[in-house]
Structure 1
Amino acid sequence: MNSSLILSNILNPPVLFFFLGMLAILLKSDLEIPQPLPKLFSLYLLLAIGFKGGYELQQSGVNPQIALTILAAVLMACVVPIYSFFILRTKLDTYNAAAIAATYGSISAVTFITAQSFLKLLSIPSGGHMVAALALMESPAIVVGIVLVRVFAEKKGEEKFSWNEVLREAFLNGSVFLLIGSVIIGILTGEKGWQKLSPFTQDIFYGVLAFFLLDMGMVAARRIKDLSKTGSFLISFSVFMPVANAIVGIIIAKLIGMTPGNALLFAVLSASASYIAVPAAMRMSVPEANPSLYVSMALALTFPFNIIIGIPLYMNIIKAIGIS
């Protein structure tokens, strides 16, 4: 693998702030970000990428290639949790296997943003429609995870279960709602809306991302202790499953004719794991699952692996198989 790609990704300022956050916890610094702010940073990032994606989608229009890409994204969000579940089921009970599978079937918006930043450093273009793919990949994995529990879990008397609540959590949870809504607003307002909001959604974007990743580094460092509870199987899963999912995504990207930039974003979406929306949904829908497993795996291992090693690795694979 080209070490210069890894170096250029690591020396990206927001990524360095992630390491700074980890270092603050490991060295027991008293650095702290007040709790309301990380939530605000998260909401801002979702709004900004959604609005920009909607604007770019409005500019480019929807053609068969874009429709095919979005369809492939939804398909991956449905298929990844299914085969992940059967792999996990060899070592775990149904509830934990389904919750972790749903986590890895969904996506990390911040990993996606980091990949966009990486492409910008390399001057490789990507399409705004990839944000629409991002928005549509979050919820299907939640629904598939719940279905897996309903099909494979042992019945324990009459259990109260509401599909309305599950679907509401899957499609109307805050992050999905804001992201999809921002895409729609970007489409509706077009060029005029972009001119008005670009100082907010673009000029300060990477500063907010740096603060968000600083906080994520601190949270990830705190979660490292939880990894001792997961065992070697789940630690290996946290690293190797993203690579396997990315390779599947890259093969699909090659088959449907994506450009290198779009192929990388698709690979990252396929490889990332949710540590916000899906854990919130799983806590409500699958209370039998242990949150310390799926949250610590996604946040303390898969997230840093993808932003440090995964993104450059996937770019090298894309180059190796000749996507151009």
Structure 2
Amino acid sequence: MDIVVTVLSSLAEQLQKPTLAFLIAGMVLAAMGSKFEVPEPVYKFIVILLLLKVGMGAGIAVRDANFLELFVPALGAAFVGITIVLLGSRTLARRKGISEVDALATVGLFGAVSASTLAAGMAILDDAGMFYEGFIGALYPFMDIAALVTAIVMARMSAARRAAGSVTVNAGGTMTAGGGSGMGGPGKGVIEEGLLKNILVDTLRSPAISALLAGLALGLLSDPKSVYGSFYEPLFRGLLSILMLIMGMEAWARVSEMRKVAHAYILYGVTAPLIHGMIGFGAGLIAHELTGFSAGGVVLLAVMAASSSDISGPPTMRGALPDANPSAYVGTSTGIGTPVAILSIPLFIALAETFIG
């Protein structure tokens, strides 16, 4: 009974936080038929500012870390982010009635990182007196960007394959419409190879990912701390709240799409943080064996894997996958995944004490 009360209280707390509260406010406005509207150019400007800020913060953290100590855990973090997306593409995205683009946007957020959940994990370890490396925050972008880019590329690949599904490669090398060439048909590998390259390049050039990578490069290669602290940091939460309001209105407009498959998202939101956390814990154990990565570091890598993005992920998905339903990916990640991830932190601490000591 106590665990039920804890889960409900954690969920109620999340509902009061700006990310989810403004999303719900937008849904209420849309349900009331409000004419509230944010002009598209203003929306795009907000997204660019948000992603530049996230990228710069990550770049500054990476630059200030010891590269040799950071390398193995960072490689593990990127691997975990990609693995989570690939796993989700074989589970949630395969459920009957679920849109593949909605599923991949959702698993992309679950593969990315929640800064608030990571901060909660650090605070719990501080209270417990458990040591962890100072560069832990620098692992954030490796898992975050790896997961988001993987999910976006997979979603675009899927959409492109569906659009080109009627293209047939003839024996003479010409293409005609009206039926695929079948498994292993002539030219299939060439088409897939060119398709992947074009979509990957297009993804990296997209406004959302470009802004994120530009911010990362600025944080790594320059010294933007003064403008970061005086301009981007103070504006961040306010701009994020406006973005959530916009996404809430969009979510309500498409809520009917969710009614038949909501149970699948609830099941994923409850179970995924635990499974993903165990994947992150395993990667942390490998880093511990190879480099002496601390028990606290292993716990926080598991916490990052268990968390789901509430900052960088939603605007990135909104910009890169506009057809994805925000009520699916934001509602599942922030509304369900975040409370479960926070509640799982003591489990990862107990596991670290058992396996590492």
- TM-score of the aligned structures, taking structure 2 as reference length: 0.68
Q: 1:52: how far off?
A: 0.9
Pick closer, same or farther for the CA change 1:261–1:44 going to 2, 3 Å.
Answer: farther
CA, structure 1 residues 92+247, in 2 after alignment: closer, same or farther (shift >3 Å)?
Answer: same
Alignment length (residue pairs)? 302
Cα deviation code 1:286-322 (max 9, x no counterpart)? xxxxx5xxx22xx113312322332121111122342
Aligned to 1:266: 305
1:178 deviates by 1.4
In structure 2, the partner of 1:39 is 44
Cα gap change, 1:123 to 1:110, in 2 (>3 Å):
same
CA contact (8 A) 1:82 1:144 kept: no
Where do 1:113-192 residues align within 5 Å?
Answer: 115=117, 127-144=137-154, 146=157, 156-158=167-169, 161=191, 162-163=194-195, 164-190=197-223
Q: Which amino acid aligns with 1:183?
A: L
Cα distance change on mapping 1:24 and 1:91 into 2, 3 Å: closer
Distance 1:108 1:246, change over 3 A: closer
3-state SS of the aligned residue for 1:107?
helix
Q: Deviations over 1:101-137 (max 9, x none)?
A: 5434423799835656877998979613302321222
Residue 308 of structure 1 pairs with residue 335 of structure 2: yes
Partner of 1:244: 271
1:312 to 1:282, Cα distance in 2 relative to 1, 3 A: closer
Distance in 1 (alpha carbons) for counterparts of 2:160 and 2:308: 24
State whether structure 2 residue 231 is matched by structure 1 residue 194. Answer: no
Q: Is residue 52 of structure 1 aligned with residue 57 of structure 2?
A: yes
Spell out, residue by residue over 1:181-222, the C-alpha distance to the aligned partner (whole angstroms, 9 max, x if none). 2112101124xx212331112112111111111212211111
CA distance in 1 between partners of 2:330 and 2:140 (Å) = 19
Shift of 1:279: 8.0
Secondary structure of 2:307's counterpart equals: helix
Q: Offset at 1:251?
A: 0.8
1:60 is paired with a residue whose SS is coil
Change (3 A) 1:282 1:59: closer
Amino acid in structure 2 at the alignment position of 1:127: G
* Identity among equivalent pairs (%): 17
Partners of 2:97 and 2:69 lie apart in 1 by: 41
Amino acid at match of 2:303: L
Q: Which residue of 1 aligns with 2:281?
A: 254
- Deviation for aligned residue 1:48: 0.5
The Cα of 1:59 is off from its aligned counterpart by 1.4
Q: Comparing 176-185 with 260-269, which one deviates more in the overlay?
A: 260-269
1:17 pairs, out of 18, 22, 42, with 22
Whether the 8 Å CA contact 2:117–2:338 is kept in 1: the answer is: yes
Counterpart contact for 1:104–1:271, Cα < 8 Å:
no
Alpha-carbon distance change, 116 to 217 in structure 1, aligned in 2, over 3 angstroms: farther
Conservation of the 8 A alpha-carbon contact between 2:309 and 2:334: no
- For 1:190-229, list aligned pairs within 5 A: 190=223, 193-228=224-259
Map Cα deviations across residues 157-177 of structure 1 (whole Å, 9 max, x no partner): 236943332221233222112
Cα offsets for 1:18-66 (capped at 9, x unmatched): 2221111122233222222222221111111110111111112334455
Larger radius of gyration: 2
Measured after TM superposition, the shift of residue 244 of structure 1 is 3.4
- What TM-score do you get using the length of structure 1 for normalisation? 0.74
Q: Which residues of structure 2 form unaligned runs of 5+? A: 127-133, 170-174, 177-190, 285-294, 353-357
Which stretches in structure 1 are left out of the alignment for 5+ residues?
A: 284-290
Write the letter of the residue equivalent to 2:108: S
- The one-character-per-residue Cα deviations of 1:78-101 (angstroms, maximum 9, x if unpaired) are 5533563366446369xx65x455
